[in-house]
């Protein structure tokens, strides 16, 4: 039994699963839980994506607060399943990414795994990205080998994760597993919605649906960002795609300031278009797209994806794994891979020199 915990780029909460895992067998989820990110902690984690005063102390305190939220999530999973800490082999806890600069040889995930081990009474596996980066890789995305293990099929398919950032896994029979980030998913949509509606996200894309896509702005956003044209392996995060990125590009546009709802509609199309462009360029033969992450619950975004991809788009629920559980389950699987000493880093995905065992152990 393993617990997987994930708080993603959207910084909206923690998802957790308790699962039975055995090599070569499908995972069995015994319990799941989601806790909202407290507003003050969310604000601090977002602020720590940029340099600021006393950031080392602030980062340490935020990491401790996050570990306590992780521990609360783990406790809920144990309560829901009637199990005790001694029944669980390990917790896989990703932490909160606040810097991701593999081009400079580092990546930073705020976490306090020693505190989590102390609070939960369970061994903790954390720091999954660093070894891959040390081996010359991007350290991301981490989930393609897990997607291959549970979603592989006789036909070519793509598994798309829509968190703050979008990443895609390309699965084809007899071919190496491939995967990479495609660009922003919810990070800009959420930021723009928070600024103008004071809401954490655009529920079901209703605000975007009230606006219209501004084709010149869309083309400027895509053409004006060199990252989109980079070949895989590649990864990104809030270091690049943030509200400052958007504000700079809006300021450079000619003509009157666009209506906020039109910008939201355009950002939604940006997510769908950049995903479609990436899949078409890397795997035009893909016929099925399955979506996980928070974006899978946005009906308007799912329709945009189907329009841009010109293919059926379904949540991973259709494959038996609820979209909201996939990433947490992936970190339970990564913890299992670590304890079994199985390499979970894929050079074809991250560009590392060779497969590496990912993670570091904090015994209870």
**For the segment 90-115, what is each residue's pLDDT rounded down to a tens digit?**
999 999 999 999 999 999 999 999 99
Does one domain contain both 89 and 235?
Answer: no
8: pLDDT confidence band, cut at 50, 70 and 90? confident
Q: Does any domain span residue 302?
A: yes
Number of domains observed in the structure of the chain: 2
280-323: per-residue pLDDT in tens? 999 988 999 999 999 999 999 999 999 999 999 999 999 999 99
- Alpha-carbon distance of 90 to 78, in angstroms, equals 13
Does one domain contain both 297 and 334?
Answer: no
User: 294: closest CA among 17, 3, 8?
Assistant: 8
Q: Does any domain span residue 85?
A: yes
Does one domain contain both 273 and 291?
Answer: yes
Tell me the three-class secondary structure of 35-87, residue by residue: EECCHHHHHHHHHCCCCCCCHHHHHHHHHHHHHHHHHHHHHHHHHHHCCCHHH
Q: Does any domain span residue 99?
A: yes
CB–CB of 259/293 below 8 Å? no
Does one domain contain both 129 and 188?
Answer: no
Q: What is the mean pLDDT of residues 120-149?
A: 97
- Alpha-carbon distance of 172 to 14, in angstroms, equals 31
Per DSSP, the three-state class of 159 is: strand
Does one domain contain both 288 and 331?
Answer: no
198: pLDDT confidence band, cut at 50, 70 and 90? very high
Does one domain contain both 98 and 176?
Answer: no
Does one domain contain both 291 and 350?
Answer: no
Residue numbers of the domain that contains 116: 2-141+324-362
DSSP string, 101-112: EGGGTEEEEE--
Q: Does any domain span residue 194?
A: yes
Does one domain contain both 161 and 218?
Answer: yes
CB–CB of 215/258 below 8 Å? no
Q: Does any domain span residue 74?
A: yes
Res 25 pLDDT > 90: no
Does one domain contain both 352 and 312?
Answer: no
168: which DSSP letter? E
271: pLDDT confidence band, cut at 50, 70 and 90? very high
Does one domain contain both 96 and 232?
Answer: no
> What is the Rg, in whole angstroms, of the alpha carbon atoms belonging to the chain?
20
Q: Does any domain span residue 146?
A: no
238-263: per-residue pLDDT in tens? 999 999 999 999 999 888 899 999 99
Q: Does any domain span residue 81?
A: yes
360 CA to centre of own chain: 20
Q: Does any domain span residue 328?
A: yes
Does one domain contain both 180 and 313?
Answer: yes
Does one domain contain both 220 and 265?
Answer: yes
Res 190 pLDDT > 90: yes
149 CA to centre of own chain: 18
215-232: per-residue pLDDT in tens? 999 999 999 999 999 999
Structure tokens at 38: 């407290």
CATH code of the domain in which 173 resides: 3.30.420.40
């Amino acid at each position: 039994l393993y617990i997987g915990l994930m708080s993603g780029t959207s910084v909206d909460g923690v998802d957790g699963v308790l699962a039975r895992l055995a090599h070569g067998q499908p995972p069995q989820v015994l319990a799941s839980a989601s806790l909202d990110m407290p507003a003050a902690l969310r604000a601090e984690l977002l602020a720590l994506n940029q340099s600021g005063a006393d950031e080392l102390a602030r980062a340490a305190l935020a990491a401790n607060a996050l570990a306590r939220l992780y521990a609360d999530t783990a406790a809920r999973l144990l309560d829901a399943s009637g199990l005790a800490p001694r029944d669980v082999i390990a917790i896989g806890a990703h932490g909160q990414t606040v810097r991701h600069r593999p081009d400079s040889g580092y990546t930073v995930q705020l976490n306090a795994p020693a505190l989590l081990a102390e609070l939960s009474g369970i061994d903790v596996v954390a720091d999954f990205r660093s070894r891959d980066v040390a081996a010359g890789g991007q350290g991301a995305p981490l989930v393609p080998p897990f997607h291959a293990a549970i979603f592989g099929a006789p036909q070519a398919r793509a598994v798309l994760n829509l968190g703050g950032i979008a990443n895609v896994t390309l699965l084809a029979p007899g071919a190496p597993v491939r995967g990479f980030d495609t660009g922003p998913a919810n990070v800009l949509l959420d930021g723009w919605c928070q600024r103008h509606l004071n809401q954490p996200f655009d529920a079901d894309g209703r605000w975007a649906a009230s606006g219209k896509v501004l084709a010149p702005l869309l083309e400027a956003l895509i053409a004006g960002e060199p990252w989109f044209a980079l070949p895989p392996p590649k990864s990104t995060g809030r270091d690049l795609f943030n509200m400052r990125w958007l504000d700079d590009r809006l300021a450079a546009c000619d003509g009157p300031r666009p209506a906020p709802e039109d910008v939201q509609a355009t950002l939604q199309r940006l997510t769908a278009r950049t995903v479609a462009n990436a899949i078409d360029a890397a795997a035009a033969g893909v016929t099925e797209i399955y979506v996980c992450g928070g974006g899978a619950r946005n009906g308007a975004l799912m329709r945009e994806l189907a329009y841009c991809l010109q293919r059926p788009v379904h949540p991973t629920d259709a494959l038996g794994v609820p979209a909201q559980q996939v990433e947490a389950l992936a970190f339970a699987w990564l913890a299992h891979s670590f304890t079994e000493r199985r390499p979970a880093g894929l050079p074809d995905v991250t560009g590392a020199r060779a497969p590496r065992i990912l993670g570091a152990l904090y015994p209870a």
